[in-house]
Amino acid sequence: MPRIGTTPFAFPDFRGATRRLVLWNLGAYFALLLLTHLSLPLWAFQALNSLGFSSAAFLNGDFWQPFTYSFIHLGIGNTLLELLSLFFVAGFLENYHRPEWVTGLYFASVLGTACAAVAIFLCSRALGHLLLSDPLIGCFGGIFGLLVAIGALYGDVQFMLFPLPIGIKARYLVAVYVLVILAMLFYSQQRYYAFAQLGGALAGLLYIHLAPRRGIAPRLSELWYAGRNRYYRWKRRRAARKFEVYMRAHGRNVRFDGQGRQIDDDDVNDRSRWN
């Protein structure tokens, strides 16, 4: 891993996974904005309720919400802040990791945020103190997971605290953000969102320690082809055993090895001669 020194306040290259993530979120924002300004506010409201993440709706069968809520953005100020943050942290990680790895980390953090929201919802319902809150929207969970990954992998990197000319190491920046989130847990109105963001951070940590360096997609592809090959070898061995039984019933002995390949008697004699 290359050694990294002080990093000035400058945005990285707009490429690869960073460009895809930013453009996907930006396109979803303008699509919702277009629905609102085409005199279709009811459609926009329905999209918000249907695509935003609600723990109660998810438990009632809206299983697509963990994959869609991060693309719902409201307000130009919040959207600009989220997308600029996503641009910076994802682009920084993409300088040292493959685009597939960065994309997997982002979506793992997004799903971890949704899982944490479901967990605190179920716990509150079991304790008789049901948490009522608006649906989760925005990519804050994914951004937090990316930021935690920077703090864990590149803790000594210094960033400038814009607009102040002050540098701070990545690990301390993450620690400050975590303390802010923990403080939000003491406010009932923010508890649901704060706990969800902590779930995104935990998912990001688990991803960087458990996921392969090339990302989830190549690893899943390798597992798929390995499983398919094992299945084909098993079918070949089973066909070989059936063929042995069939030939034995007709008075001939045919043998196969553990890979389902036929063993000739000449090959057996040659191996025994040299052993």
Give 174-206 pLDDT, tens digit per residue.
998 889 888 888 876 678 888 899 999 999 999
**What does the pLDDT read at residue 120?**
87
In a domain, 245, yes or no: yes
* Confidence (pLDDT) at 44: 61
The answer to whether the peptide bond before residue 2 is cis (omega within 30 degrees of 0) is no
Residues 132 and 177 both lie in one domain: yes
The CA distances from residue 158 to 106, 155, 174, in Å, are 22, 8, 12
Whether the predicted pLDDT of 275 surpasses 50: no
Query: Is there a single domain that holds both residue 133 and residue 267?
Result: no
61 occurs within a structural domain: yes
Q: What is the mean pLDDT of residues 112-135?
A: 83
Residue 221 counted as domain residue: no
Local confidence band at 217 (pLDDT 50, 70, 90 cut-offs): low
Do residue 186 and residue 238 come from a single domain?
Answer: no
Is residue 3 in some structural domain?
Answer: no
pLDDT band at 17 (very low <50, low <70, confident <90, very high): very high
Nearest alpha carbon to residue 201 among 133, 157, 151, 154: 151
**Quick one: 207 and 236 in the same domain?**
no
Residues 28 and 163 in one domain: yes
What integer pLDDT is reported at residue 220 of this predicted model? 67
* pLDDT of 55 over the 80 cut: yes
Q: Which of 214, 244, 266 is the last residue of a domain?
A: 214
For every residue of 153-191, DSSP letters joined together read HSTT-EEE-TTSS-EEEHHHHHHHHHHHHHHHTTSHHHH
Domain span at residue 112 reads 16-214
Claim to verify: residue 194 and residue 257 sit in the same structural domain: no
Residue 42, in any domain of the structure: yes
Which tops the pLDDT comparison, 272 or 168?
168
Q: Give me the mean pLDDT over the 109-117 stretch.
A: 93
pLDDT > 90 fraction of the chain, expressed in percent and rounded: 29
Q: Which residue has the higher pLDDT, 112 or 224?
A: 112
Same-domain check for residues 87 and 32: yes
pLDDT(207) > 80: yes
- Residues 54 and 157 both lie in one domain: yes
Average pLDDT of 256-270? 60
User: Do 152 and 200 belong to one domain?
Assistant: yes
Is 4 inside any structural domain? Answer: no
Q: How many domains does the chain have?
A: 2
In a domain, 240, yes or no: yes
The verdict on 134 and 197 lying in the same domain is yes
Query: Cβ–Cβ contacts within 10 Å for residue 40, how many?
Result: 13
CATH, residue 67: 1.20.1540.10
Nearest to 106, CA basis, from 3, 226, 24: 24
Same domain, 238 and 196: no
The pTM assigned to this predicted structure is: 0.73
Q: Are 173 and 159 in contact (CB under 8 A)?
A: yes
Q: Is residue 6 part of a domain?
A: no
Mark whether 54 and 116 lie in a shared domain.
yes
pLDDT the model gives residue 41: 61
